[in-house]
Structure 1
Amino acid sequence: MDKFTRNYSIVLGIVVIALAAWWLSSIWQPAVWEINEVLEADAELADYPYQFRVKRLEEGVATLSTPRNVQVPAYRFLEVIHPELAGLAQDDPKVIAAQQDLVDHQKRTQGLVSSQPGVDRVEWELDVQWLADHGVQVNGG
């Protein structure tokens, strides 16, 4: 092996190792895993069609997944998990009950996460992947 090939191989190896270390450090979040285990163990949340998850925990801020926000109103999500609601008016009692059920589950999730050590605040982030997997397009972001 000539000198250039050897040096090139060493530099390439260092770059690969550095990238692997950076990637590993970015996914290594045992506190997130522990909080998600708490959410999975909650019987009420486990029965809900959407599983709320902690995506990140940074400087006391837990970022949770949500299937709704300004871009995707609750009604669009609810039609996915409750197809029988499709076509009903948004003020229909069945739709209102489903919306309240979603709110109750989000509040329960927020309460469980907020009570965990190291969590000072909870923020919500739209779960674009879940929505896409269920045929809901998200516009503008």
Structure 2
Amino acid sequence: MTNTEKTTGLDSFTRKYLYVLAGLVLVGFVLWLGSLDFRAREINSALEADSELAAYPFPFRVLTLENGVARMSSPRSAQLSVIQSLRVMFPELQQKDPVSDEMQAAQVELARLQSRAAELVMKEPGVRSVRWVLDKQWLAKRGIYVE
């Protein structure tokens, strides 16, 4: 047994194997760290700081920011009508007719706040446009599954 083997209890092959393994873990960590979108987190913090947006039941947020395009979560799309989304956000609208005054007011408020969120994001440096994406995860947590 060599002196190194005596002090560490590991033979040469095992030590080399552990060094390679540690190197792979380090490379994986660096790649993972590089994939985090810190800019999107900063913008989301600004959205959360807005009192009107923070009080609304749907959390408008930036999912990704790539090449100046901010992909933002939305509770509505061609896949899911605004009426369905509003009924999820506001249970008191469950039995309301889609053309009722309450439903119309809720639609106007959703459009206003979604526009406000887009305006706040567009004011951020490096953002050229906003692309809305249906927030399937948020809906799934509330029992609505969209494919």
Normalising to structure 2: TM-score of the pair? 0.85
1:105 aligns with 2:117: no
Residue number among 19, 29, 33 corresponding to 1:20 in the alignment: 29
Structure (1 or 2) with the larger CA radius of gyration: 2
Equivalent AA in structure 2 for residue 128 of structure 1 = K
The correspondence of residues 37-76 of structure 1 with structure 2, limited to 5 A, is: 37-76=45-84
The aligned length equals: 138
Residue number among 8, 12, 23 corresponding to 2:17 in the alignment: 8
Q: Deviations over 1:2-38 (max 9, x none)?
A: 3432332222212111111111111151x22221222
Secondary structure in 1 matching 2:71: strand
Structure 1: stretches of 5+ with no match in the other structure: none
Secondary structure in 2 matching 1:55: strand
Structure 2: stretches of 5+ with no match in the other structure: 1-9
Shift of 1:89: 2.4
Equivalent-residue separation in structure 2 for 1:67 and 1:122 (angstroms):
15
Bigger relative contact order, structure 1 or 2 (CA pairs below 8 A, ≥6 apart): 1
Shift of 1:106: 0.5
Shift of 1:110: 0.5
Which residue of 1 is the match for residue 134 of structure 2? 126
The percent identity for this pair of structures is 44
Q: Deviations over 1:38-68 (max 9, x none)?
A: 2122122122111111111111111111112
Equivalent AA in structure 2 for residue 118 of structure 1 = G
Residue number among 69, 90, 94 corresponding to 2:102 in the alignment: 94
Equivalent-residue separation in structure 2 for 1:126 and 1:3 (angstroms):
54
Q: Cα RMSD between the aligned structures?
A: 1.5
Equivalent AA in structure 2 for residue 87 of structure 1 = Q
Normalising to structure 1: TM-score of the pair? 0.88
